[in-house]
Amino acid sequence: MNILGIESSCDETGVALVSWAGAQRPRLLSQALHTQASMHEAYGGVVPELASRDHIRRVLPLAEQVLREAALGRDAVDLVAYTRGPGLAGALLVGAGTAVALAAALGVPALGVHHLEGHLLSPFLAEEAALAFPFVALLVSGGHTQLMRVEGVGRYALMGETIDDAAGEAFDKSAKLLGLGYPGGPALSRLAEAGDDARHPLPRPLLHSGDLDFSFAGLKTAVMLKARQAATPQDRADLAAAAQAAIVDVLVAKSLRALRESGLRRLVVAGGVGANRRLREQLVAGAAGLGGQVHFPPLALCTDNGAMIALAAALRLQAGLEQGGSAGAFDVQPRWPLASL
């Protein structure tokens, strides 16, 4: 079975083709991704209407590109998967409408997939990964920061989440305060390499709260106050390093606590912030101290992409599951808790 996956939840249009053969691990045949970062940079963030219009322009050419690179025709597609939610309503509607229409034209089913489920399962696309259920998942991006206990496909229990802002937003807003533009997370991490993370003491919100919840709003405020006094390039580099260290320290501490409390020794890290080098290094070292192992998706699949959507569809079918609504239905859920699956 060849599954065409379409991701359009925010500012990246992703299309991919995944092959699934029964009990075997799904295999990525080809993928294409267009990011809108340069278009939204002038506004300092994603403009939903512009994002939706760009998805309309990109999605079908990307689908044609994916099929061409896989050396397959349209008749080779057996199922079209799309991001049903959560995300920007207009952006989701473009992907859903395209997927359902394309599936109808080809005479194949369409399947809506949860965006975070795609991220959570994406490490299964890493060829070298010996990943198996159950595990703890850290879902960390610009819109989400959650810890989940994962017993299997569709079997998710929320362990903790942010009570205000996501870690990725804290990265981006801290970068903006330092004049680094949009998207700011990667730029802040690059600047932090030249900084001293001990020079500017910053809070670690909820670090000792005794639970698995997160909070990053107060940290953003602390960075704002420090940024007003950052007069030199070195000041800015030091503050970038301090902000990154504060965010990473909280993520690592909570993730390791989740492993200890659950008794599990496998940790999956997914979402755009999962590409951060400092976070990866500290999680790997911390998990090793507990006798555990950390699994990441390939770096190219940390951000939003169509491959994770096609993969999630394949694994749901493999587990005998479909979406929360009727197959092929044209609907989206801008707000959709993963635990509801």
pTM of this structure: 0.94
Are 261 and 322 within one domain? Answer: no
pLDDT at position 126, please?
83
DSSP letter for 191, please.
Answer: H
pLDDT at position 44, please?
83
- Secondary structure E strands in 11-144: 12-19, 27-35, 79-85, 110-114, 135-140
Q: What is the bridge-based pairing of β-strands 155-161 and 135-140?
A: unpaired
Are 111 and 178 within one domain? Answer: no
Residue 204: band (very low, low, confident or very high) from pLDDT cuts 50, 70, 90: very high
Are 59 and 172 within one domain? Answer: no
Are 91 and 153 within one domain? Answer: no
Are 6 and 33 within one domain? Answer: yes
Are 285 and 306 within one domain? Answer: no
Are 292 and 305 within one domain? Answer: no
Average pLDDT for 243-264: 98
Residue 127: band (very low, low, confident or very high) from pLDDT cuts 50, 70, 90: low
Q: Is the pLDDT of residue 66 over 90?
A: yes
Are 145 and 291 within one domain? Answer: yes
Are 9 and 112 within one domain? Answer: yes
Are 19 and 95 within one domain? Answer: yes
Average pLDDT for 124-141: 88
Structurally, how many domains does the chain consist of?
2
Are 67 and 157 within one domain? Answer: no
pLDDT at position 323, please?
56
Judge whether 197 lies within some domain: yes
Angle at 126 between CA 121 and CA 130, to 5 degrees: 85
CA distance 297 to 280: 11
Judge whether 128 lies within some domain: no
pLDDT at position 328, please?
53
Residue-number span of the structural domain to which 210 is assigned? 134-296
Percent of the chain at pLDDT > 90 equals: 87
Domain at 96, CATH number: 3.30.420.40
Lowest mean pLDDT among 93-102, 211-220, 313-322: 313-322
Q: Is the pLDDT of residue 241 over 70?
A: yes
Are 101 and 154 within one domain? Answer: no
Judge whether 127 lies within some domain: no
DSSP string for residues in 215-265: --HHHHHHHHHHHTT--SHHHHHHHHHHHHHHHHHHHHHHHHHHHHHHT--
Q: Which of 152, 140, 111 is nearest to 276 (CA)?
A: 140
Q: Is the pLDDT of residue 324 over 50?
A: no
